[in-house]
Structure 1
């Protein structure tokens, strides 16, 4: 089954609060006939849009092919958190790669946050970008570990924008009975993810990128010039960038063996009015320490946007509201009975080590994907790194590509059932409080 069509109507954004609160861009026509370009980008999310924008600004002729609409996938559906660091903790990266490479990856992660903020400012993207992401802990032991990690970042990397919070301090920020402390990172941020994606698309088009929507890629022929075919046309280009993330399908088996699509879900409550202060007392986002993480923030119109629950097959659950309401009410029991005005799902992609998979598949074919829930900044940066690599400036791309990314057990064929078993076990540990 093709994830591009498994859960959504062809050519339409999902019925999310995000889609309801942006003005959609005029629909771009599908690709028809033969087109030539310097670079063909496949995928219209953050990765592809950032790559296309940076390439076009460097003077290259760029065609971007999107199977649905720009921002249709995870880029337009996620929790909107622009986190610090990589998805893997710096302490784990230090053990895996050594202090030098880990420090380089920390610097790239800082560049990712700065890049998003600069793109929003430079292109006037109205996406409600605000500072602050809190990390919430369920036990005093978890809180102590979180505080120690913040001290490590300050001591080793000079990162001093994290405030440590004890149980009382965290309750003053987030009045949930579930949490026993945590941290608040004011160097991180949150935003309206679909508005950000559409803003990148507008900027790319102004820079000269030719965008074709409704143009699903079915075949790629490699060679000195690549040939990328859709239903009604094809692109011939000197370079190809694959920016498909969880929607890659069968376009490349090497990537598919290492990048696994999974589904995640979000609800938006009715506006909470004065009750919003019983959720958060400051306009920041929150993610907690569950393996199947809960993440939430208040929208600019006073709703709780709450993400929780995962699934590992192709299909979304029949009742997304019920799927997300369960963890939401564990965190905020006082919201029982509050209407859930919107509920939607999305497909992201993970890797075994939760680090993105950047790879040169051929001398003129690059791919980046597998952001593992950390994609707002990382995907935007990956797009810029691939644009640089196309132009012969590959230091940043190569640094990310050096991170080992093992294939899932069973490769592309068996990864899904084996992952279901593993994820189900970790989800059970969450429920049992281990």
Structure 2
């Protein structure tokens, strides 16, 4: 699918030797975005190690600079951020261009919008097609004025912050860490208490990092699966040191590769084991995966572990809908594991996949069809009938979605014939070292 100004780069993967070795997947994208943002909102210096230097995070870093932060790059993954503190943001002279960064743009709407400045947000063709209205709705309740927007509340859009943001109690309409985080980040510059209620608990990186930087924030159970988060506004945040753990969403690719390629044994270092992010690991263990946690420790306010992964005979399972928030980005690669499992894997409640970089549910289904895998979609459920082996094929349409591209390249490492994807350029947004890292384990991936 060619886009204006975009030169697609097809790639293919084929089966070969077992995968062996150790690697540290890139720093967690969620923590990387937030460490930059909290550096901006803090007084003093924030030192970051292991930052994911993909395009998405660099766009967030540039936006922080436009809003007043001073950034010093000390080497690969090493950054120092001198912040301006809550209330200290300056009006950006130019458009805040987030490229393909959905997380960065949505979080920053809460940050910039809660200050008495005007800022314009834009991005690439993919970001321009993605819904922002569910972020803007609660921000408008907080007094933030959407001056102009593209139809359906999409970027490019311009927001103007009030003299003083209004604290709210807000119940999120869908389980989304991005909605929650945008409201909490706006709440930092509101007097009084901002409360977010979610019916299903979503990833809690924002709350953990707020606490690390000195905010007064509490989170208590609410209902059967939910949380009630209360933030006291207008704290003084202090710069901190953040070691960014390895991203479980990126580690998922070499992890599943080691499970499906016969004879493989791989160690993945310092993977974040936040309980709200390891739904994929929980699911793979239920499927019979040989994954051993070693050297469990704390980094960047999060629990991390080294994972030893060996080739395994997987069995089909049913994945409950309430697990979706803890593995929403991992369903494409789970569909690959399910293709190599024996029996049926049913993934329930995947409606959120329809509003990602593309309609990921349709994109996964089209790729499975191309590879000769039997599946059905029933409503928002994906049902994959695994036979233990995959034919292969392509080219799979990636729709500018990095996770679709990486998932089907991993599929090709054990398929009977190679797998091809129509474009691999966008992999750089989240995992710029994906191809060389996989090759270092012995994977046959190339143009």
- Structure with the larger strand share: 2
TM score, norm. by length of structure 1: 0.24
- Structure with the larger helix share: 1
TM score, norm. by length of structure 2: 0.24
Considering Cα pairs closer than 8 Å and 6+ residues apart, tell me whether 1 or 2 has the greater RCO. 1
